[in-house]
Chain A
Amino acid sequence: MNDGGVSQNLETVGLKAWAQAFLIRAFEQRLLKLFSEGKLFGTVHTCIGQEFTGIAVAHHLLPRDLIVSNHRCHGHYLARTGDVGGLMAEVMGRTTGICGGRGGSQHICAGGVFSNGVQGGMMPVAAGMALAQKLTQANDITVAFIGDGTLGEGLVYETMNLASLWQLPLLIVVECNGVAQSTPQSQTLAGDVAKRAEAFAIAAYHGDTSSPAQLTDVMGVAVRDVRENSRPALVRVDTYRLMAHSKGDDDRPLEEVRRYWSRDPLNNFELEHPDEALRLREHSEEVVSKAVEDALSAPFASAGCEQRLKSNAPTWRRTTFSGKERVVTRIHDALRENMASDDRAFLLGEDIEGPYGGAFKVTKNLSLEFPGRVRNTPISEATIVGLANGLALNGMRPVCEIMFGDFLTLAADQIINHASKFRWMYNEQVTVPLVIRTPMGGKRGYGATHSQSLEKHFLGLPGTRVLAVHHRYDPHALYQSLFATIDCPTLVIENKTLYGEYLQEQSLGGFWCEHTEEAFPTTRIRAHARPDITIVCYGACLVDAEKALDRLFDEHEVVAEIICPTQIYPLRIEPIVDSGRISGRMLVVEEGQLFCGFGAEVVAAVHEACAGTALVTRRLGAAAHPLPCCKSAEIESLPGVDSIMKASLEMLSDG
């Protein structure tokens, strides 16, 4: 621990470091000025007073090391890259910025530095990047910067747990500035910071930004530890945030803030070496001013263009299968082939290793065949997906399994605020080829939290894809297409009851199966007759829809047509519209809740495309309450053959 009077020695710290510190401070101070002039959007989180943390770490990093930071990332970025122009343009929202103006102050990606604005969210991502580095065996490391406030997020502990278990080369730097936004540490932190690391068998180090030389030494030791021993470490850095959390919200007492100004190394450097300080300050101002000038003359970022699906006429081919196998086997085989043909493939999830082979046996024996690349994780859904995010960002092809679709909610932030956003917000500099597999669905009596169909909550995230497996299109082919073309985070909805279904070519007399010719096709079950009604569904609902189709014809002389897409987001509406225009009646069936669900989207899109045509639509979904555990009551609460038939007949008899 240092007291306030240590002399700031030019030689011990090095002029380069002081120059960096002055530059960072000049940059941050200019941002505050620009903000008060109305030239910045949103807000700025300045690191004034904390500059040396980033500088001390960057001093020891090698070219392939990575940095993951948070909302207060400017100092880390500038210390690592020195790119004042790019960062200024980015903060000012210009196309010349490091993310084309899309990311702004909190969401940056350049020069091996990544940041995002959700506290703790980047921790497992950093761990994933470290895992990818470990697998290359090149002794690179990843540094994750968090604050003492971040220690409130559970994800931090999940990550430390996993990083320690898997011995990941991850350096966690905790900038303890004693406050989280406006809340003092006394209200946010129980216990001791270092002891948290020790609880996970992670080595803990300590430094202070008011002694930059000592801090740099400590960082050196920590970085070497992580690099040479390939294991995680944590450095607690005591520091102080001299300005507000974000522009304009500082209620700390003035004497407290003033006291820390007196301990500030830059302030003291100025007192001891005024000429040098002046020179450094003037030089910094020049660089920053030039950056501002350049930025002001560059154009603003424009809104990105939406990805539009090609809307041409679908062509149909008959679906054929060879052999008679179950859905689960086909999925297993696809995963296995992918592991065999792609070294970057990596499977992670709970209980997926052999001999258990996964809760539904999808990954049976894969860990035995591909040791080290099929890994059991602790029960940490958010970290599973977060780790996969990091792996995907760092060149790997992760496939994670979330044991029950109901638990996807635990990973929601990693899907919604991280996976789906990286590519666009970082201006297309990265792709996230991430696959999340999970079984949804009920009718097994597992109860309210193990039987749901929650996929609708993950539909419609721009930059993602959602697939649904069914038994009339070979899941092996579906996964093969996915692995061959993957370019965005993809959620694959499997279904518990579907795992046991057999693939069959024809079991519907008089009707046959076709699919569109594309990577993730739409399946159509039809006959050589004009349909009286179109039934739209996906996934396991196809099983009941088929049975209804059969009985509707046999018992009621009604010819139905089923349209069943495998890609439910983004949704190709043409095959659905095509059928609806001919039949004039459309029933959309889903196992999830109706409000703002898949059916609602289909009906809206179809009516927009068919304006002027007579089309009657209706939706069928789960009863509007949690699913009961009693199996018979559960089945009653979900759509089935009887409810599909009843709804169809009602649509045919009245309106």
Chain B
Amino acid sequence: MVDTIKVLIPHETVNDETVRILSWKVASGSRVEKDQILCEVETSKALVEIHAPDAGLVRYAAAVGDEVMVGSIICEIFPEMQSAPEVVLIPWTAASQAVVAELPPARFTSLAQKIAADYGIDKTAFPPGTLVRSSDVLLKAGKSVPQVERGPGPSSPKPGSRPSSEDDASSNPPVAGVAVDWTELPRKKTVESRILRAGQAATIQSSVTLICRAAGLRARVDKLGFSAIGMSALMVFELARLLRKYPMFNALFAQGRKGQYREVNIGWAIDGGQGLVVPVIKHADQKSLGEIARTMEQHLEAYLGNSMTPDDFLGGTFTVSDLSGQGISLFQPLISQGQSAILGVGSEMIRESGESLYLTLAFDHQVAEGRSAAQLLQELAGRLEVHASLERTAHSERFCVLCQRDEDALKKYKAILLTSEIPPGSVCSICLAGW
């Protein structure tokens, strides 16, 4: 059994005898993370924020407007049910010591009493006013605690969602005979796992890979000033437009039907060492290359500055994962929940022909098939090669502000440049008309 964590108004941060509760930031009974802000209190000098000392479910002990003594309890936190229960030590302050004097001795269940007697555990070792169950006694005795079989409760998934197996102890049993050290995974990882598990469970994954000769592409990217985000901006730009032509890769399969997303929001996987995140570039098909690059730079800045918000990750309909910068050529990207495809980008340096890009499109075979996947990749490769070739040839002054192609490149497609007011500059007839 785990005792609750009592959250006190700390002495160190306030100099007053009492403070006033200004506002609660979370609902009583809801889950909080460690260090999450619980409430604001008003002292004589300033507003002080009180943060959760640990994760769990919070329950108020004071209301907005209450004047509370410094050192008194403003709320309690009930830790989550953990597979290995531990006893949490509560710091005894002067106030709580006074309360302890009034409390009755710890109460034991019949079984706990018997076990305590069996193992010779001193009953006064348990704090007064608490409940002691057999698991608590076993813990104190240093014995292992049997798993309690409990039915649906707070650890169960939300009603209506797919039942997940993450809490089921019987799936994926460890190898017999080998000692295992269990650790809790950080919440971010469990959330990520849930998204991937959902994606995997709902799709029939297949993939096609195409090797694209892209010598000069990096230089082109540098020339455009996008080196910080590599070629991903270019990928996102071209993909967004190609997804309009191949909409089955911007959809999902559910309950026997294909759901076509009306927006093209491309998620871009970043892992700079601070964890894997997938911020979303919304309406990528309507943004210019410059706008896409700027958005991605902002995301990267936020990632590095640890200031990303939940909004950054909402609404993705397709994902791009670029590991080319890490020296990886081929890998199997995983389709996310609610999507039907993902593009993985790897690269390889070959001495004679320069850099090659390995483009792997993993897709859900329930809404698409290999042929269209191949076609998309071929067109993508074609466009990338055009961009790469732009670096190798002389450019003319004018170029399309949306796709950066200059007149020479456009000639190949029998397209022309037109002067435009919105956006200001020139726009090619291809971008105007679309593919």
CB contact under 8 A between A510 and B149, given known A316-B61, A582-B78, A614-B159? no
21 CB-based A-B contacts, threshold 8 Å: A313-B28, A313-B60, A315-B66, A509-B104, A527-B131, A528-B129, A554-B109, A555-B109, A556-B109, A557-B134, A580-B29, A582-B78, A584-B152, A584-B153, A584-B154, A584-B155, A584-B156, A614-B153, A651-B151, A652-B151, A653-B150
Q: Which residues on B sit within 8 Å (CB–CB) of A554?
A: 109-110
Decide if B1 is an interface residue (CB 8 Å cutoff): yes
A63 at the interface (CB under 8 A from B): no
Asked if B412 CB lies within 8 Å of chain A CBs, one says no
Choose from B57, B62, B81, B107 the contact partner of A509 (Cβ within 8 Å): B107
In the bound complex, residues from chain A placing their C-beta under 8 Å from that of B149 are 653
Contact A581/B63 with A510-B131, A528-B129, A528-B130 known, Cβ cut-off 8 Å? no
In the complex, B354 has a CB within 8 A of chain A: no
Q: What is the bound-complex CA distance between A530 and B57, given in angstroms?
A: 9
B28 contact set on A, CB distance < 8 A = 313, 574, 578, 581
Contact between B60 and A529 (Cβ–Cβ < 8 Å)?
no
Within 8 A of A (CB), among B10-57: 24, 27-30, 57
* Whole-angstrom CA separation of A613 from B2 in the bound complex: 22
Least distance between A518 CB and chain B CB atoms (Å): 11
Scoring A315, A583, A655 by chain B CB atoms within 10 A of each residue's CB, the highest score goes to A315
In the complex, the chain B residue whose C-beta lies closest to that of A531 is B78
Residues A528 and B4 in contact, CB atoms below 8 Å apart: yes
Please indicate which of the listed interface residues A506, A581, A651 has the most CB atoms of chain B within 10 Å of its own CB. A581
Are B109 and A557 in contact (CB-based, < 8 A)?
Answer: yes
B87 to chain A, nearest CB (A): 12
What is the CA–CA distance of A583 and B158 in the complex, to the nearest angstrom? 14
Residues on the B chain within 8 Å of A577, using CB: 29
Which interface class (under 10, 10 to 19, 20 to 34, 35 or more) fits A?
Answer: 35 or more
Extra contacts, 19 of them, besides A530-B4, A580-B29 (Cβ < 8 A), are A312-B64, A315-B66, A316-B61, A509-B104, A527-B131, A528-B129, A529-B3, A529-B4, A553-B107, A553-B131, A554-B109, A557-B135, A585-B153, A614-B152, A614-B155, A614-B157, A616-B153, A654-B152, A655-B152
Complex CA distance for A356 and B429, rounded to whole angstroms: 102
Specify the chain A residue showing the minimal Cβ separation from B152: A655
Q: Is B59 an interface residue (CB 8 A)?
A: yes
A512-531 interface mask toward B, CB cutoff 8 Å, 1 = contact, 0 = none?
Answer: 00000000000000011110
Complex: chain B residue closest to A510, CB-CB:
B107
With a cutoff of 8 Å between Cβ atoms, the chain B residues found around residue A323 in the complex are: none
Inter-subunit contact B59/A578 (CB<8 Å): yes
**A-side contacts of B157, CB under 8 Å:** 614
Q: Is B133 an interface residue (CB 8 A)?
A: yes
Q: Which of A315, A579, A582 contacts B61 (CB 8 A)?
A: A315
Q: Is the C-beta of B304 less than 8 angstroms from some C-beta in chain A?
A: no
**B219 located at the interface, meaning its Cβ lies under 8 Å from any Cβ of chain A in the complex:** no
B60 partner residues in chain A, CB cutoff 8 A: 313-315, 578
Closest chain B residue to A556, Cβ basis: B109
Bound CA span A41–B267, Å: 61
Residue of A nearest to B160 (CB): A612
Residues from chain B with a CB closer than 8 A to the CB of A506 are 104
**The residue from B104, B106, B110 contacting A555, defined by CB atoms under 8 A apart:** B110
Interface check A532, CB cutoff 8 A: yes
How far apart are the CA atoms of A314 and B60 in the complex, in Å?
Answer: 8
**In the assembly, what is the distance between CA of A584 and CA of B78, in Å?**
13
Within 8 A of A (CB), among B92-111: 104, 106-107, 109-111
Find the residue from B28, B64, B66, B104 having the highest chain A CB count within 10 A: B28
Nearest to B56 among chain A residues (CB) is A530
Q: B residues within 8 A CB of A553?
A: 107, 109, 131
A559: Cβ under 8 A from any B Cβ: yes
Residue of B nearest to A559 (CB): B131
State in angstroms the CA–CA spacing of A527 and B129 once bound together: 8
In the complex, A530→B155 CA distance in Å? Answer: 13
CB distance from A553 to the nearest CB of B (A): 6
Asked whether any CB of chain A lies closer than 8 Å to the CB of B79, the reply is yes
Interface string of B141-183 (1 = CB under 8 A from A): 0000000011111111111000000000000000000000000
Residue of A nearest to B3 (CB): A528
Q: Which A residue's beta carbon lies closest to that of B79?
A: A530
- What secondary structure prevails in chain B residues at the interface with A? loop
B153 touches A583 (CB 8 A): yes
Answer whether residue B211 sits at the interface, using C-beta atoms and an 8 A cutoff.
no
Q: How far is the CA of A555 from the CA of B131 in the complex (A)?
A: 13
Contacts of B210 in A (CB 8 A): none
Name A633-652 residues within 8 Å CB distance of B: 651-652
* B112 at the binding interface (Cβ < 8 Å): yes
Chain A residue at minimal CB-CB distance from B110: A554
Cα(A162)–Cα(B62), bound, Å: 53
Please give the distance in Å from B354's CB to the nearest CB on chain A. 53
With a cutoff of 8 Å between Cβ atoms, the chain B residues found around residue A556 in the complex are: 109
Question: Given A313-B24, A651-B151, do A529 and B57 touch, yes or no (CB 8 Å)?
Answer: no
A529 touches B150 (CB 8 A): no
Inter-chain contact B131/A528, CB cutoff 8 Å = yes
Closest to A509 in B: B107
Given contacts A510-B129, A555-B110, A614-B156, contact A578 B3 (CB under 8 A): no
- CB < 8 Å neighbour of A613 from B63, B107, B158: B158
Chain B residues with CB under 8 Å of A616's CB are 151-153
Set of chain A residues within 8 Å of B110, measured between Cβ atoms: 554-555
What is the CA–CA distance of A448 and B423 in the complex, to the nearest angstrom?
84
Question: Quick one: CB contact mask for A298-332 with B, threshold 8 Å, 1 for yes?
Answer: 00000000000000111110000000000000000
Q: Bound state CA distance, A532 and B29, in angstroms?
A: 14
Instruction: Please tell me which one of the listed residues B57, B104, B156, B159 contacts residue A510 in the complex, with CB atoms under 8 A apart.
Output: B104
B153 in contact with A510 (CB, 8 Å): no
Question: Do A579 and B29 touch (CB < 8 A)?
Answer: yes
Which residues in B have their C-beta under 8 angstroms from that of A527? 130-131
Closest Cβ–Cβ distance, residue A61 to chain B (whole Å): 52
**A597-621 interface with B by 8 A CB criterion:** 612-614, 616
Least Cβ–Cβ distance between A583 and chain B, in angstroms: 7
A532 vs B154: C-alpha distance when bound (angstroms)? 9
Which of chain A's residues has its CB closest to B90's CB? A528
> Within the complex, which residue of A313, A511, A530, A583 is in contact with B2, where a contact is CB–CB below 8 Å?
A530
**CB distance A614 to B109 under 8 Å?**
no
Measured between C-beta atoms, what is the minimum distance from B5 to chain A in Å?
11
* Contact between A315 and B29, CB atoms less than 8 A apart: no
Bound Cα distance from A399 to B158, whole angstroms: 48
* Known A510-B130, A529-B2, A555-B110; contact A314-B63, beta-carbon cutoff 8 A: yes
| In the bound complex, CA of A315 to CA of B122 (Å) | 36
In the assembly, what is the distance between CA of A574 and CA of B27, in Å? 10
User: What CA separation (Å) do A529 and B136 show in the bound complex?
Assistant: 12
B99 to chain A, nearest CB (A): 11
Cα A614 to Cα B81 in complex, Å, equals: 14
Tell me, in angstroms, the Cα distance from A347 to B25 when the chains sit together. Answer: 49
Against B, the Cβ 8 Å flags (1 = close, 0 = not) of A571-593 are: 00010011111111100000000
Could you tell me the distance in whole angstroms from the C-beta of A517 to the nearest C-beta in chain B? 8
Contact indicator B130/A312 (Cβ below 8 Å): no
Closest to B111 in A: A557
B24 to chain A minimum Cβ distance, whole angstroms, is: 6
List the 10 closest pairs (A to B, CB-CB), nearest first. A581-B29, A510-B107, A584-B154, A584-B153, A530-B78, A655-B152, A578-B29, A509-B107, A315-B63, A557-B133
Contact B158 A532 (CB under 8 A): no
Question: Which of A509, A559, A582, A654 meets B59, CB within 8 Å?
Answer: A582
CA distance A583 to B155 in the complex (A): 10
Give every chain B residue within 8 A of A651 (Cβ-Cβ).
151
A652 vs B148: C-alpha distance when bound (angstroms): 10
Chain A residues contacting B66 (CB-CB under 8 Å) are 315
Cα of A555 to Cα of B108 in the assembled complex, Å? 10
Beta-carbon nearest neighbor of A517 in chain B: B63
Cα distance, A585 to B159, chains bound together (Å)? 13
**Chain A residues closer than 8 Å to B159, beta-carbon distance:** 614
B362 to chain A, nearest CB (A): 31
Determine how close the nearest CB of chain B comes to the CB of A479; give it in whole angstroms: 26
Minimum distance in angstroms from A648 CB to a CB of chain B: 11
